[in-house]
Amino acid sequence: MDVITFGETMVLFSAPQILPLEYVHQFTKQIGGAESNVAIGLAKQGHQVGWFSKLGRDPFGAYIQKAIRAEGIDTSRCITTSEAPTGIFFKEKKSAESVHVYYYRKGSAASHLRPEDLDEDYIAQAKILHLTGITPALSPSACDTVFRAIEIAEQHGVKISFDPNLRLKLWGEAEARPVLMEIIKHCDYVLPGIEEGEFLTGETKPKAIAESLHKYGAGSVIVKCGPEGAFYSDGCGSGFVHGFKVKNVVDPVGAGDGFASGFLSGIIRGESLDEAVKRGNAVGAFVVQVDGDIEGLPTREELDNMVIGRRESVDVKR
């Protein structure tokens, strides 16, 4: 298995119209979850990926598992429970630049994840364990599960990648910062956004953010700077890779997850940090041009054509 990841995926109800939610009467049913977004992005690149969660024993839980499995991802370690429901969320678009998300996930099945839910042998055979900062924010038991997964990965030589994915609606700053920093010290690849890096370190410049995280124990640090591109550093060398121009931004949600999938694909394929970051930038550019968290993720052929040609713009035509 190339990558294993776990966390909460919810059913997404997306409004097809650009309207405030109170005026919307019909919704499109999709799925959305940071970890499963990354998993699907990697699967589309031809990698072997496993994703698991704790899902409600309800129609939404069944829908999520079937949808993710249909993307070629192993979901065999998913757990279902009758004790809690599958989470849902709604996406509101007032304009291409004004997208709001409303979550209904408190007490969800995924928040009941526990360390004993982990299959050590399953995690041990992966090349990379990918984590986000959302899962530890769900509940104390989910947080314990993340740290147990880190222990397993370290014991078996599995590399760890981590996207902080800061969600202050789930926990406060005082609680979030020390937990996220404790995770970071164990990670081989850390992928914060520029604002997340500032939150974690107090620094405002990508290079200073990376240097601060290196001092704390992080391996390679990739600071995502939105459409401008991303800065990378492995503690010995560093650089900045410019982003791809996008003519029409439809939905920016999920771009960071797309970046992570492109970056990890490059790492698995043995590319340099520079080349892997370039792949991440390209996937992010694809994602923002399509409505939905996963629908814009490119195939390997599409991504290779874009990256090898290093076109200055990405125009999705499907």
| Region for 217 from its dihedrals, namely left if φ exceeds 0, alpha if ψ lies in -120 to 50, beta otherwise | left
Q: List C-alpha distances in Å: 78 to 58, 81, 203.
A: 14, 10, 39
Alpha helices for the chain (secondary structure H):
34-44, 59-70, 120-124, 135-138, 140-155, 173-184, 194-201, 206-216, 255-268, 273-287, 300-309
Query: 88-111 burial, b for 16+ CB within 10 Å, e for fewer?
Result: bbbbbbeeeeebeeeeebeebbbb
- Nearest to 184, CA basis, from 259, 131, 123: 131
Round to whole Å and give the CA distance between 261 and 258.
5
Query: What are the backbone angles phi and psi of residue 143, rounded to the nearest 5°?
Result: -65, -45
Whether residue 257 lies in the annotated active site: yes
Surface-to-core class of residue 235, CB atoms within 10 Å of its CB (0-12 exposed, 13-18 middle, 19+ buried): middle
Strand pairing report for 159-163 and 28-32: unpaired
Round to whole Å and give the CA distance between 1 and 4.
7
Please pick, among 251, 257, 291, 293, the residue that the annotation labels catalytic. 257
Round to whole Å and give the CA distance between 105 and 86.
8
Q: Is 221 helix (H, G, I), strand (E, B) or coil?
A: strand
Contact between residue 243 and residue 281 where contact means Cβ atoms under 8 Å apart: yes
Q: How far is CA 107 from the centre of its chain?
A: 21
Just list the catalytic residues. Answer: 257
